[in-house]
Structure 1
Amino acid sequence: MPTDIEIADAATLQPIEKIAEKLGLSADEIEPYGHYKAKINLPLAHKPAGKKGKLVLVTAVNPTPAGEGKTTVLIGLGDAMNKLGHQTTIAMREPSMGPVFGIKGGATGGGLAQVAPMEDINLHFTGDLHALTSANNTLAALIDNYIMRENKARLDPRRIIWKRCDDVNDRALRKINTGLGGIMQGIPRETGFDITAASELMAILCLSRDLHDLKERIGRIIVGYSFEKKPVTVDDLGFTDAIAILLKDALKPNLVQSLGGTPAVVHGGPFANIAHGCNSVLATQTAMDLSDYTVTEAGFGADLGAEKFLDIKRPVLGKTPDAVVLVATARALKHNAGVAKDKLNDEDVDAVKAGLPNLERHIQNLQRYNLPVVVAINHFSSTDAENQAIADGVAKYGVKAILADEWAKGGDGALELAAEVVRLTEQPFTFSPLYDYNDSLENKLTTIATKIYGAKDVVFSSKASKQLKQFEEAGWGNLPVCIAKTQYSFSDDQTKLGAPSNFDFHIRELVPKLGAGFIVALSGSIMTMPGLSKHPAAENMTISDDGKITGLF
Structure 2
Amino acid sequence: MTNLKDIEISQATPLEPIEKIAAKVGLSPTDIEPYGHTKAKITLPLPGQHELGKLVLVTSINPTPAGEGKSTVVVGLGDALNRAGHQTVLALREPSMGPVMGMKGGATGGGYAQVVPMEDINLHFTGDMHALTEAHDTLAALIDNHIHHGNALNLDPRQIVWKRVLDINDRELRQTVVGLGGRTSGTPRQDGFDITVASELMAVLCLSEDLTDLKRRVNRILIGYTYDREPVTVADLKVGGAITLLLKDAIKPNLVQTLEHNPAIIHGGPFANIAHGCNSVLATQTALQLGDFAVTEAGFGADLGGEKFMDIKTPVLGKTPDAVVVVATIRALKYNGGVKRADLEQENVAALKQGSANLKRHIKSMQQYGVPVVVAINRFTSDTDAEVAALTAEVDALAVPAATTTVWADGGAGATDLAEKVVTATQQPKDFHRLVPAGADLMTQMTAITQKIYGGAKVELSGKAQRQLKTFAKQGWDKLPVCMAKTQYSLTDDAHQLGAPTEFTIHVREFAPRLGAGFVVALTGNVLTMPGLPSHPAALDMDIDAEGKITGLF
Corresponding position: 1:285 with 2:290: no
Where 2:135 maps in the other structure, the secondary structure is helix
Residue from 32, 41, 57 that aligns with 2:43: 41
Q: Displacement of 1:150 after TM fit?
A: 2.4
Change in CA separation of 1:52 and 1:138 when aligned onto 2, cut-off 3 Å? closer
Q: Displacement of 1:199 after TM fit?
A: 0.7
Whether the 8 Å contact between 1:441 and 1:472 is mirrored in structure 2 is: no
Q: Displacement of 1:396 after TM fit?
A: 2.3
Distance 1:235 1:65 in 2: 44
Corresponding position: 1:411 with 2:412: yes
Where 2:246 maps in the other structure, the secondary structure is helix
Q: Displacement of 1:551 after TM fit?
A: 0.6
Aligned to 1:394: 395
Superposition pairs of residues 202-213 of structure 1, within 5 angstroms = 202-213=202-213
Distance 2:385 2:197 in 1: 38
Distance 1:190 1:455 in 2: 36
Corresponding position: 1:334 with 2:334: yes
Aligned to 2:355: 355
Q: Displacement of 1:489 after TM fit?
A: 0.1
Q: Displacement of 1:52 after TM fit?
A: 5.0
Aligned to 1:133: 133
Q: Displacement of 1:281 after TM fit?
A: 0.2
Where 1:76 maps in the other structure, the secondary structure is helix
Superposition pairs of residues 222-233 of structure 1, within 5 angstroms = 222-233=222-233
Whether the 8 Å contact between 2:108 and 2:116 is mirrored in structure 1 is: yes
Distance 1:327 1:47 in 2: 34
Q: Displacement of 1:67 after TM fit?
A: 3.2
Whether the 8 Å contact between 1:390 and 1:401 is mirrored in structure 2 is: no
Whether the 8 Å contact between 1:440 and 1:472 is mirrored in structure 2 is: no
Distance 1:477 1:15 in 2: 49
Superposition pairs of residues 242-281 of structure 1, within 5 angstroms = 242-281=242-281
Which amino acid in the other structure matches residue 174 of structure 2?
Answer: R
Distance 1:304 1:389 in 2: 27
Whether the 8 Å contact between 1:93 and 1:267 is mirrored in structure 2 is: yes
Whether the 8 Å contact between 1:55 and 1:295 is mirrored in structure 2 is: yes
Aligned to 1:184: 184
**Cα deviations across residues 478-511 of structure 1 (Å, max 9, x unaligned)?**
2110000100000000000000111111000000
Which amino acid in the other structure matches residue 171 of structure 1?
Answer: R
Q: Displacement of 1:66 after TM fit?
A: 5.4
**Cα deviations across residues 17-71 of structure 1 (Å, max 9, x unaligned)?**
00000110111110000000000011112245xx451100000000113531000
Which amino acid in the other structure matches residue 463 of structure 2?
Answer: S
Distance 1:135 1:374 in 2: 40
Which amino acid in the other structure matches residue 408 of structure 1?
Answer: A
Distance 1:344 1:121 in 2: 31
Aligned to 1:527: 528
Superposition pairs of residues 37-186 of structure 1, within 5 angstroms = 37-48=39-50, 51=51, 53-65=53-65, 67-186=67-186
Aligned to 2:32: 30
Residue from 6, 10, 13 that aligns with 1:11: 13
Aligned to 2:449: 448
Distance 2:108 2:137 in 1: 27
Q: TM-score, normalised by structure 1?
A: 0.99
Distance 2:119 2:66 in 1: 19
Aligned to 2:488: 487
In the TM superposition, structure 1's runs of 4+ consecutive aligned residues that sit over 3 Å from their partners are: none
Where 1:508 maps in the other structure, the secondary structure is strand
Aligned to 1:460: 461
Distance 2:193 2:255 in 1: 30
Distance 2:100 2:384 in 1: 30
Q: How many residues align?
A: 551
**Cα deviations across residues 185-216 of structure 1 (Å, max 9, x unaligned)?**
11111010000011100000100000000000
Whether the 8 Å contact between 1:225 and 1:231 is mirrored in structure 2 is: yes
Identity %: 62
Corresponding position: 1:324 with 2:324: yes
Aligned to 1:198: 198
RMSD (CA atoms): 0.9
Where 1:247 maps in the other structure, the secondary structure is coil
